[in-house]
Structure 1
Amino acid sequence: MPLPLYLLALAVFAMGTSEFMVAGLVPDMASDLGVSLGTAGSLTPGFAVGAAVGAPLAAGLARGRPGRSSLLLFVLAFAAAHAVGAVTTSFPVLFATRAVAALAYAGFLAVALTTAAGLVPRHEKGRALAVLLSGTTLATIAGVPAGALLGTLLDWRATFWAVAALCLPTAVGILTGLPARPGHEDDAARPDLRSELARLRSPRLILVMLLGALVNAATFGCFTFLAPVVTDRAGLGKLWVPVVLMLFGLGSFVGVTLAGRLADRRPGPVVAVGGPLLLAGWPALALSAERPAALLVLVFTQGALSFALGGTLITRVLYEAAGAPTMAGAYATAALNAGAAVGPLVAATTLGTALGPVGPLWSGALFVAVALSVGLPFRGVVAGVKERDESAR
């Protein structure tokens, strides 16, 4: 894989740390800002809504600009939003900074996904996406647990400052290590924006976007509220939260890495095997959360299965949107973050029920069940059978 791809993954690491870090900071943020646990948890879906809505808009605006300058602008805007968030004492202002950061993240990821696909041969899109998403999984392994530990030892504001600082070397790397137009096609041969948007009429594209959103809804909904499961249901101390988040991240790295080698040529088996296992895993975790040993094992396996399945489906979005070379990344980003927005919102509603802290785990099982039910009649599409790749014609 080319070096510029790893530079993009580094930026995704910084942004992924921010997107996921609220999972380990929700209790402290709620206490400091005087809001409920569910309200503080809304920062995660709020971020995802901004990313889902902003991805197509940002990608459309960036179409005529060199990829490097667009990526640099998005990273700097992301850093500035975190600096403001670190000093505010108002939850509405903090929510607004998360929205700005989400727009910057959406623009970056949309351009980065398209750029990553252009850096490699057509048949290696899945591997390129796996490298890019490894930045997200490494964020859950190192960035998010480190943020949770920093928040425990200092406060949640220190974590926001750390993310802002992490963006600066990332910006330097993009500026010095990424070509101005990596992997871009000749502008004259590129479809116009109307033609790329028309690709959204494809039932195959809509299907894989929906499935990707549903699986990611389960992943983000469960991950956002893992901290209460650890401290309340399992009865472990707060310092165990970073450990659990790290285990989930390790699993996600293993899952996205292994699936990345299969997503291009054999996506069907990944979904056929990983889907039912993921569906069974969330209820199993909910029922065994009081046993720390089982909790730790299942958190790892669910991280692996979630990212293996989710990463494969997002790769399918890139393939089905191949006729929209500059907007394909935006469609994949929108699908991923639509799920990340809906999942925590639904999960939050279960916290006040009899299910308590494990309610989000049951909502995750529901999302996966819906995804499998919707995808089963169209398993040929998910497997890439008779794929209609207009760009190859």
Structure 2
Amino acid sequence: MPVFVHVLALAVFAQGTSEFMLSGLVPGIARELSVPVGAAAGLTSAYAIGMIVGAPPMAALSARWPRRRALAGFLVAFVAVHVVGAVTTDFAVLFATRVLAAIVNAGFLAVAMSVATALAPRGGQARATAVLLSGVTLSCVVGVPAGALLGEWSGWRSAFWAVAALCLPALALVFRSAPVEAAGREQVSVRRELRTLKSPSVRLALALAAAVNGATFATFAYLAVIATKGAGLPAGAVPGLLAAFGAGAFIGVNTAGRTARGGLGRGMALALCALPLGWAALALTSGRPAPLFLLSVVLGGLSFGIGSALVNRVMQVASDAPSLGGSFATVTLNTGAFLGPLFAGAVTGATGDYRAAAWVSAALAALAASAVVAYAVRHRYAASGNTRERAR
């Protein structure tokens, strides 16, 4: 795999840390800026909305730029908004920096996906996607707990400074090693690339990715509460549980990168059928610490492994949209990450049981599994019909 793909993964690690670290910084932000905890928690939603809204226009805007300029420009902007966020005393400004950071993050990720798959050797696109997404999973394992500890020791602003500093080595390597050619000044047609969204294969891949990621984050958002309220674990055990989930995710992404081929065959169908069963098992056994830790590792691996394979599927079936294909995947994943916790919040609010979030995950994963099974049956029926026609 080209070294530059790992450089892109380093930048994605820094950006993933920024996206997820807010969960451990909310109390300090609320206290120092004199805002309600709920308002401070809304910074996470602001980031998700920025990712959803920002990916397509940023990918379209940068489609005709040289790749080095696009990647460097997005990274410079990402560093700048974190510096502003680290020094501001105004919550409205901080909120705006989160939205802007998400928008440039979405733009960077969309360009990085297209660059990584273009640089990968023949047949290595899935591996390139996995390497890139491993930056996100590593941010869950290492970056988020580190950010929480740094915020506790030195204040929440130090975490913003750390993210900005973490981007600098990646920025220097982008200037040094990024491809210099244009992404296609004459060939890129945003309108033509958007037409690929009409393809049933693209729509199915996007819907599956949204459902699986929605299932993932429906429970992930409540995992700490499930651990403390349901399993009776002390608060100090929560970082270990989150790291266990992240470790499973890292293994899943890298396994998918080595084995996935971008199809919706038997392996994908079996994995998707196992996913709702896993979430249901978590809902039933989450009151006991040992099953909770074990299933967190397994479900982290399954969820992120399937998600990585589906991103590769999107890039494959949207091959007519080389500039915007990454933005399609980015929007889809973040839509799931935004809606999943909302659904879980509605259900847990109605039932008063935080373990119900895992049942929401099971339901969303079951929808994805049903869609793949229906696709496989329809595909096999169509293939057998064609065989009979040829026999005649």
TM superposition score normalised by structure 2: 0.89
**Quick check: 1:19–1:47 contact (8 Å CA) kept in 2?**
yes
**SS of aligned partner of 1:357:** coil
2:239 is aligned, of 214, 226, 242, to 242
**Aligned residue in 1 for 2:345:** 348
Deviates more, 1:59-68 or 1:285-294: 285-294
Q: Deviations over 1:130-153 (max 9, x none)?
A: 111111111111111211222333
Query: Which deviates more, 72-81 or 315-324?
Result: 72-81
Q: Separation in 1 of the partners of 2:165 and 2:17?
A: 12
Query: Contact 2:262 / 2:312 at 8 angstroms: preserved in 1?
Result: no
Aligned to 2:251: 254
Deviations 1:41-84 (A, max 9, x none): 44333312211221110011101211111111111211222233
How many aligned positions are there? 381
Structure-1 residue corresponding to 2:296: 299
Give the deviation of 1:162 after TM superposition.
Answer: 1.6
After superposition, the C-alpha distances for 1:94-117 in whole angstroms (9 at most, x for unaligned) are 332211111010000000001011
**What is residue 180 of structure 2 aligned with on the other side?**
180
Matches of residues 48-63 of structure 1 in structure 2 within 5 Å? 48-63=48-63
Quick check: 235-244 or 5-14, which moved more?
Answer: 235-244
Q: Could you tell me which residue of structure 1 aligns to residue 260 of structure 2?
A: 263
Quote the Cα distance in structure 1 between the aligned partners of 2:316 and 2:104. 24
Deviation at 1:36, TM superposition (A): 4.4
Report what 1:16 is aligned to. Answer: 16
Residue range with higher mean Cα deviation, 143-152 or 86-95: 86-95
- Return the alpha-carbon distance in structure 1 between the equivalents of residues 45 and 332 of structure 2: 13
Contact kept, 8 Å, 2:26 with 2:37, in 1: the verdict is no
Which residue pairs with 2:66 in the alignment?
66
Equivalent-residue separation in structure 1 for 2:317 and 2:179 (angstroms): 27
Q: Tell me whether 11-20 or 74-83 shows the greater mean CA deviation.
A: 74-83
**What value does the CA root-mean-square deviation take over the aligned residues?**
2.5
Deviation at 1:259, TM superposition (A): 1.0
The question of whether the paired residues in 1 share the 8 Å contact of 2:25 and 2:148 is answered with: yes
**Deviation larger for 48-57 or 260-269:** 260-269
Identical pairs, percent: 45
TM-score computed with the length of structure 1 as normaliser:
0.89
Measured after TM superposition, the shift of residue 174 of structure 1 is 1.3
State which drifts further: 369-378 or 332-341.
Answer: 369-378
Partner of 1:2: 2
Report how far residue 196 of structure 1 moved. 1.1
Query: Unaligned 5+ residue runs, structure 2?
Result: 384-392
Which residue number corresponds to residue 280 of structure 1?
Answer: 277
Q: Could you tell me how far apart the structure 2 residues matched to 1:2 and 1:380 are?
A: 39
**What corresponds to 1:322 in structure 2?**
319
Displacement of 1:317 = 0.5
Give the 3 Å change call, closer, same or farther, for CA 364–175 of structure 1 in structure 2.
same
The answer on 1:35 being equivalent to 2:36 is yes
How do residues 198-213 of structure 1 correspond to structure 2 at under 5 angstroms? 198-213=195-210
SS at match of 2:235: coil
Distance in 1, Cα, partners of 2:235 & 2:363: 28
What residue number does 1:389 align with?
Answer: none
Q: State the distance in 2 between where 1:350 and 1:336 align.
A: 21
Distance change >3 Å, CA 27–CA 216, structure 1 → 2: farther
In structure 1, distance between residues paired with 2:47 and 2:256: 27
Residue 291 (structure 1) shift: 1.6
- CA apart distance, 1:373: 2.6
Letter in 2 for 1:294: P
346-355 or 203-212: bigger deviation: 346-355
Question: How far apart in 2 are the matches of 1:99 and 1:56?
Answer: 15
What is the one-letter code of the residue matched to 2:119?
Answer: L
Query: Which stretch of the first structure deviates more once superposed, 74-83 or 24-33?
Result: 24-33
Aligned amino acid, residue 304 of structure 1: G
Q: Which amino acid aligns with 2:343?
A: V
Q: Structure 1: how far apart are the matches of 2:341 and 2:43?
A: 9
1:104 aligns with 2:101: no
> Runs of 5+ in structure 1 lacking a partner?
387-393
Structure 1 letter corresponding to 2:270: V
